[in-house]
Amino acid sequence: MKQLSIILSVLATVVSGAALVMLLTGKSAGSAVAKEEKHHEHKEFKMAYFNVDSIQNSYVLYKEQFKTFQAREEAVANELQTLERNYQKKVAEWQQKGNTMSQAEAEAANRENQQLQQNYGQRKQMLTMKLESDMMEAKQKIKKNIEDFLTDYNKDKRYAFIVSNEPEFMFYKDTVYDITADVIKGLNEMHKQKKN
């Protein structure tokens, strides 16, 4: 019972405080809602979409970046394979010497083995991190290009939202609001202008 009176007191204080603030600022809850309704009553809500897979297949910059990163991934894989082969050759040499190695030679081989493994791991990590960082930067550039294009495309504010349609994201869409062709054409023109 004591807790109920405390709760009611706190509630009354909050309501009184809110009323006082509204009185002092000259705003009433009803006028704010009415202004908001007037502001939105003339706008029709429209949403457009574009297909991400079509952008990936047809946006020239995306395709260029994709080819570049495929080549870089292949180069990284080749470099790591070369390091691995060199390491395997060294291990084979040590195994061939086997029992003929002195204690000092065995210890030196063990240190060299550990150093080779450490160098390989560090090189692999560095190459992977650099590639991932560059890929993230390229994705951000493409995303920014799309955002810049869509901002310009929608400068007349005809759409409240423009979303990307990805598989399993949208369950129903009216193709009337599909702007994929416009987006691809605009992005490719923008890319062509930047290249020249």
CATH number of the CATH domain containing 64: 3.30.910.20
Which pLDDT does position 45 carry in this prediction?
A: 83
Domain match, 9 and 85 both: no
How far apart, in whole angstroms, are the C-alpha atoms of residue 10 and residue 3?
A: 11
Tell me the residue range of the domain where 28 lies.
Answer: 1-42
Which pLDDT does position 25 carry in this prediction?
A: 55
How far apart, in whole angstroms, are the C-alpha atoms of residue 15 and residue 52?
A: 49
Domain match, 135 and 67 both: yes
Interior/surface letters 70-100, b for 16+ CB within 10 angstroms, e for the rest: eeeeeebeeeeeeeeeeeeeeeeebeeeeee
Domain match, 12 and 74 both: no
Q: Which residue, 183, 177, 174, 192, is CA-closest to 147?
A: 183
Domain match, 9 and 95 both: no
Domain match, 36 and 72 both: no
Domain match, 34 and 52 both: no
Domain match, 37 and 48 both: no
Task: Report, in this order, helix, strand and coil percent for the chain, each rounded to 5.
Answer: 80, 5, 15
Domain match, 37 and 100 both: no
Domain match, 17 and 90 both: no
Domain count within the chain: 2
How far apart, in whole angstroms, are the C-alpha atoms of residue 28 and residue 34?
A: 10
Q: How far is CA 33 from CA 14, 20, 24, 27, 42, in A?
A: 21, 18, 18, 11, 15
* Per-position pLDDT tens, the chain of length 196: 445 444 444 444 444 444 444 545 555 444 444 444 444 454 678 899 999 999 999 999 999 999 999 999 999 999 999 999 999 998 888 888 888 888 888 889 889 999 999 999 999 999 999 999 999 999 999 999 999 999 999 999 899 999 998 877 777 888 888 899 999 999 999 999 888 8
Instruction: Provide the residue type at 132 as one letter.
Output: E
Domain match, 60 and 100 both: yes
Domain match, 133 and 116 both: yes
Domain match, 158 and 129 both: yes
C-alpha triplet 129, 136, 55: angle, nearest 5°: 140
